Amino acid sequence: MRLAFCTDLDKSVVVFNCEKRGWTQVGPVDDWNVYWAGTQTCRSLFSVDSGYRMNDNQIINHFPNHYEISRKDLLVKNIKRYRRDLEKEGNNLAERGDSKYLHLDFIPVTFVLPADYNMFVEEYRKAPQSTWIMKPCGRSQGSGIFLINKLSKLKRWSRESKSPFQQQLTKESYVISKYIDNPLLIGGKKFDLRLYVLVTSFRPLKAYQFKLGFCRFCTVKYDSSVTKLDNIYVHLTNVSVQKHGGEYNSMHGGKLSVENLRIHLESTRGKQVTDTLFNQISWLIIHSLKAIAPVIATDRHCFECYGYDIIIDNNLKPWLIEVNASPSLTSTTANDRILKHKLIDNIFNVVIPPSGVPDVRWNKIPSPESLGDFELLIDEDVINNSELENMNNGKTSSKWK
């Protein structure tokens, strides 16, 4: 059977991968097997009004309500709810020490404005002059982000934006997070990690991490002084922001592979702490997905590749900054192009069953050979089966519980 694919992204990386497999490109109104869609298309396709029903041989690259993790306010809300639920259950994962979560402290202290304004002020007053970062909930690519270290600046911004926080109605909500002001620096510059995570099912949770992530650097050396708070080239690592910075092109596109980061950390900090850091990164990805699993409209036609943005602080602690439902597939360098071609190729190898034809009845367990550069993060089917086996053998164990 010759597969038909459809995409509304004008990205050669997707089209090239599909054509290389001998698939035929068709339009959205034609019969398609694989649809690489924008988030908006996906939303309208799944909307009640569309009346569209997918058949067993169709798959699409987003879950209907993917925004539960990619919208900054919803990500925070879901992680906070997840912690509370585990606390109610008396789960050890929700243990606290000095009022902090010991195991689930992987997002900076964050509030949603205007709703949490009073709670934010209370927190701010515990450490006046601390730096906070404001981000609009529904925007991307560094748009509308700014830093504050004075309450008066926030109040002035509120007045100027004509949406006082005391009023509950405002056009746009923001998240305000404690700024990670002790980031790990390389060459004096701040960076973040972009990692790719493929989810093929939320209930049971099945997720894979792509080994070939990269670091994105700022173009200007890091400086935490008050005078530099407004300089986005010092603080924001987004490629869309940094490509306008002067040194960006001379830094190989401002990127460094995760593999090279690991080598650098092993040689400067030691292997043991480096291994711990990367285990903590896997931990935070798994638990961020577990946090949204109960609210995701899981659908067997769907898979999703998320772009995780993680900052590492100087104590080698990773912090989840945000998750993108449509990570950029644009290439800025030859290495970038190779990585993204491989990413798409590996995704198709994982989500398409051995028969070569999408089939929602498939158990979604790919062969080890088809994983390519993906490695299994979690498969709750496997955990549940091994727990059942252990119970039968009188043992109890689970790696991720």
Selected from 3.60.15.10, 3.30.1490.20, 3.40.50.300, 3.40.50.720, the CATH number assigned to the domain covering 109-179 reads: 3.30.1490.20
First to last CA, the chain: 42
Q: Give pLDDT, residue 237.
A: 54
Q: Give pLDDT, residue 232.
A: 58
Phi, psi of 76 (to 5 degrees): -65, -45
pLDDT tens per residue, range 264-279:
999 999 999 999 999 9
Q: What is the CATH number of domain 183-344+365-392?
A: 3.30.470.20
Residue 340 in tokens = 């993204």
Residue 294 in tokens = 């109960």
Q: Give pLDDT, residue 239.
A: 45
- Residues of the chain short of pLDDT 50, as ranges, are 166-170, 235, 238-253, 391, 395-401
Q: Give pLDDT, residue 169.
A: 42
Q: What is the 3-state secondary structure (H, E, C) of 34-86?
A: EEECCHHHHHHHHCHHHCCCCCCCCEECCCCCCHHHHCHHHHHHHHHHHHHHH
The CA–CA distances, whole Å, from 125 to 173, 221, 347 equal: 22, 30, 47
